[in-house]
Amino acid sequence: MRRINYSRLQQADLALLAMQIAASKGGSVMTSDLKELLVQKFKPTGMDAATNANWQMNFEQVVGNLISNRGMPNSMFNKGYATRIVGGFELTALGQTFVESAPH
């Protein structure tokens, strides 16, 4: 069984922030832009900054998984907050409302 390292950022920690970024960009964001913006914000260190087998930072992989793991029960996609677009995601009306009502 895989153990979760709670000292590192997880997908669920980044979902609202990703949706807030999409909202600030007119309702959609490309995965590559999202990775870049979140790396600038969090400045990953340690294991988050380590390069994985896909030749990207572990942190970037977590950000990418927000979109690629859209089938997960609690994902922003399954909750109806976002839909997949080529290269990223866009907020639905429900997602926009959720972002506007979330604490900043």
Global confidence as pTM: 0.83
Mean of all residue pLDDT scores within the chain: 86
Angle subtended by helix axes 58-68 and 31-42, to nearest 10: 140
Instruction: Classify residue 24: in a domain, yes or no.
Output: yes
Write out the residue range of the structural domain in which residue 29 sits: 11-101
* Helix/strand/coil for 1: coil
pLDDT at 5: 55
Question: Cβ neighbours of residue 59 under 8 Å, at least 6 residues apart?
Answer: 9, 38, 39, 42, 44, 48, 49
Domain containing 96 — which CATH number? 1.10.10
* Helix/strand/coil for 77: coil
Number of domains in the chain: 1
Render pLDDT for 30-79 as a digit per residue (tens, 0 to 9): 999 999 999 898 888 888 888 877 778 888 888 888 888 877 888 899 99
Confidence category of residue 4, pLDDT binned at 50, 70, 90: very low
